[in-house]
Amino acid sequence: MKESEYRSYDDLPLFLNSATVAKVLGVSPSSGYELMHEPGFPVLHIGNRMVVPKEQFIQWVNERVGGGV
C-alpha cells in the first residue's frame, strides 16, 4: 500500500479528482479511477470531469471504517 501525502482531512482540496482519491486512500491511480465509477461512491459529473466533494468523501470513508478516522 502506498503512503498518503495527506496528514489530515484539512489538507484536502474542496473537490478531489481520481488521482487525489488514489493518493488519499493509498491505492494506484487506476484503482482510484475505478472506485469513482462504483455505485454509491459520491462523485459529481461536471461536464466530462468527475470530482468528489471533500465532505462527502470524508463521510464515505467514515461509513466504511466505522467512524474511526
> Residue 24 has what pLDDT?
93
pLDDT tens for each residue of 5-21: 788 899 999 999 999 99
pLDDT tens for each residue of 30-65: 999 999 999 999 999 999 999 999 999 999 999 988
pTM of the model: 0.83
Q: How many CB atoms lie within 10 A of CB 62?
A: 13
Question: Is the confidence at residue 27, as pLDDT, over 60?
Answer: yes
Q: What is the DSSP string of the chain?
A: -PPPS--SGGGS-SEE-HHHHHHHHT--HHHHHHHTTSTT---EEETTEEEEEHHHHHHHHHHHHTT--
Place of cell 455505485: 39
